[in-house]
Amino acid sequence: MTGTVVVTGAAGRVGTYLRHADGGLAARGWTPILLDVTDPGEPFRHVDILDEDALTAAMTGVDAVVHLAAIPGEDTWDAILRTNIDGTYRVLEAARRAGVGRVVLASSCHAVGYYPADEIARTDRTTRPDTLYGVSKVADEALASLYADRYGLETVSLRIGQCDDVPRTAFHLGIWLSPGDLVRLVDAALRGPVDGHCIAYGISANTRGWWDLTTARALGYEPQDDAERYVDDVAPYDGPQLLGADMVT
């Protein structure tokens, strides 16, 4: 499967990687339609994710949606509720109205941030959000599940780790997602086999990783990078082995 894909929040850091890292989604046969309220420096549509009619118009006739637009970290409850939860509801509703087949959502490791790093994190365990931001991602996953069950929309929630050019600290050696692997992960989420709602972790093939990549690999994701190559360059980390103590999105 390839075709047109709407990318919300296309001007953000993750959206920028999806446009440019290793050629971006375009190099994998997709035609991205970029949505944001900030100019990403390429042709785009100025669309606020709270504007459901504008979203529906932008999604009409497209094959899939990658939903990235959100407040990318901790904030007030009102701000989180408005953008991260209500915004995701409106994106899913617009996709349903427009007849889109699949929506890939950027969830976060902070949906399960209170699980310690010394045990394997599976996708079938109860969520344990570590912040209001994490709560919003739990809500987004629930909305994605609802739209899959009620309306037959194929949905994939990606619990993305520390997506950055390089890992920053020793703690990030376990949760790093390289820009190239991000593109590979999202491409797999767009084209892989999905039955209803799927949750997948988003990290590279890190030697120190503790997140279970079984569902991501079932989508066709084959990570190529390992944070261990930066082991001599990262800053030391002596804090709690919990994401909530770190708050990297």
Q: Give me the pLDDT at residue 247, please.
A: 46
Mean pLDDT taken over the chain: 94
| Domain with 54 in it | 4-245
In angstroms, the CA 184 to CA 191 distance is 11
Residue 72 in this model has a pLDDT that exceeds 60: yes
Q: Give me the pLDDT at residue 248, please.
A: 42
- Six token digits for residue 82: 């408005």
Q: Give me the pLDDT at residue 52, please.
A: 93
Q: What is the pTM of this model?
A: 0.95
In angstroms, the CA 18 to CA 10 distance is 8
- Residues labelled as active-site residues: 133
Number of domains present in the structure of the chain: 1
Report the share of the chain in percent with pLDDT over 90. 91
Q: What's the DSSP call for residue 22?
A: G
CATH number at residue 124: 3.40.50.720
Residue type, 109: C
In angstroms, the CA 48 to CA 45 distance is 9
Burial label for 71, CB within 10 Å (0-12, 13-18, 19+), is middle
Q: Classify the C-alpha dihedral 74-79-85-88 as positive or negative.
A: negative
Q: Are 132 and 77 spatial neighbours (Cβ–Cβ below 8 Å)? A: yes
Q: How many CA atoms lie within 13 A of 203 on its CB side?
A: 24
The residues, ordered by sequence, that sit 6+ positions from 53 with a Cβ below 8 Å of its Cβ are none
Q: Give me the pLDDT at residue 31, please.
A: 97
In angstroms, the CA 80 to CA 147 distance is 21
Q: Are 95 and 59 spatial neighbours (Cβ–Cβ below 8 Å)? A: yes
pLDDT in tens, 191-247: 999 999 999 999 999 999 999 999 999 999 999 999 999 999 999 987 766 676 554
Report the share of the chain in percent with pLDDT over 70. 96
Mean pLDDT value of segment 92-98: 98
Q: How many CA atoms lie within 13 A of 59 on its CB side?
A: 27
